[in-house]
Amino acid sequence: MILQVRQLTKEFDGKAVLRGVDLDLAEGQVKVIMGPSGCGKSTLLRCINRLIEPTAGKVLFRGEDVLRAEADVRALRQQIGFVFQQFALYRHLSALDNVTLGLRKLRGMHAREANEKAMHELQRMNMAEHAHKYPAHLSGGQKQRVAIARALAMDPAVLFFDEPTSALDPLMSREVISVINQLYMDNITMLCVTHDMFLAKYIADQVLFLDAGVVRAEGSAEELFSGHSDPRIREFFIHEHHS
């Protein structure tokens, strides 16, 4: 098991945003988290890598408790590749340097070795020919593919996606879904927050429906998307389908 989350709770100024979330993620597994806006999806991802400090609960990464005081937070984060809806490319760096930065600063690689590794990851994302462009000169879909290459370059144990296609138009969204699908074929472990049922259907081994800070249902994409017994879930996916 790569990840075991138990009774994870997060309160912001006394307001409970996560209210006892349980989640397991096995090696090679892909889980998709869906749910209404504001239900705590981003907060959940960020609590796991401690960008946000959880209020209570347990997070085990490869069996190790990462919430204890003496845990090495930065070592944990290097194991988790994070891809944001906003792409978050470093705008003063070329696509290539976006990918090499972590290798150089965190892995201590020399420029040459880092460049080779980064070019390999960009190639994988079909972005090699744009390696020397700056973020301002890349389309949204291209930026997101660089961001994925940047995450992959660190050889993480798991990739987190927080709505990777939500800022993209349908065409660019399609190109990002296709590379994420390729990662799925490569057996990369992923935890993906999305509103995109198309993406979820492609990659989800299991879909987790989060509602007001609790896991309301868990199952395959088919089970959740069509005719679920819970009316709230039925209503959510009918609405998503038409949006």
Partner 1 sequence: MDFFQIVSLLALGAGYTVLVTLACIATGLVSGIAVALLGRLQIGPLAWVLAVYTYVFRGIPVLVLLFIVFFGLPWFGLNFPPLVSMMLSLGLITGAYLAEVFRGALAAVDEYEIMAAEAMGMNRRQVLLSIEMPQMLRFAAPGMLNEFTTVLKYSPFAYTVGIPEIMKQAMALAAITLRGLEIYLAIGLLYFAIYKLMLALLRAVERRFSVPGFNLL
- Cβ distance to partner 1 smaller for residue 55 or 79: 79
Angle of helix 140-153 relative to helix 170-185, nearest 10 degrees, comes to: 20
- Cβ distance to ligand ATP smaller for residue 42 or 98: 42
**Of the listed pieces 21-29, 38-46, 116-124, 169-177, which binds ligand ATP according to CB under 6 A?**
38-46
What are residue 207's DSSP bridge partners?
Answer: 32, 219
CB of 91 to partner 1, least distance (A): 5
49 binds, among Mg ion, partner 1, ligand ATP, none (CB under 5 to 8 A by kind): partner 1
Q: In angstroms, rounded to a whole number, what is the distance separating the alpha carbons of residues 143 and 130?
A: 10
Which stretches within 106-227 are classed as H helix? 111-124, 140-153, 170-185, 197-203, 221-225
Four-residue CA torsion sign, 125, 141, 182, 194 = positive
Q: Is residue 74 within the footprint of partner 1 (CB under 8 A)?
A: yes
Token pair 């744009």 is found at 130
Site residues for partner 1, 99-158, by CB under 8 A, read 101-102, 105-106, 134-137, 147, 150, 154
17 binds, among Mg ion, ligand ATP, partner 1, none (CB under 5 to 8 A by kind): ligand ATP
DSSP 8-state symbol, 27: T
Q: Is residue 165 within the footprint of ligand ATP (CB under 6 A)?
A: no
CB of 37 to ligand ATP, least distance (A): 4
Q: In angstroms, rounded to a whole number, what is the distance separating the alpha carbons of residues 189 and 67?
A: 21
Give the interface size with partner 1 as a residue count (CB under 8 A): 28
Number of helices (H), then strands (E), in the chain: 9, 10
CA-based nearest residue to 131, from 174, 107, 173, 97: 97
**Of the listed pieces 39-47, 69-77, 181-189, 215-223, which binds ligand ATP according to CB under 6 A?**
39-47
CB of 25 to partner 1, least distance (A): 17
Identify the burial level of 223 via C-beta atoms within 10 angstroms of its C-beta, where 0-12 means exposed, 13-18 middle and 19 or more buried: middle
Catalog residues that contact Mg ion under the rule CB under 5 A: 42
Binding residues vs ligand ATP (CB under 6 A): 12, 17, 37-43
Instruction: Provide the binding-site residues for partner 1, judged by CB under 8 A.
Output: 49, 51, 74-78, 80, 82, 84, 86-92, 101-102, 105-106, 134-137, 147, 150, 154
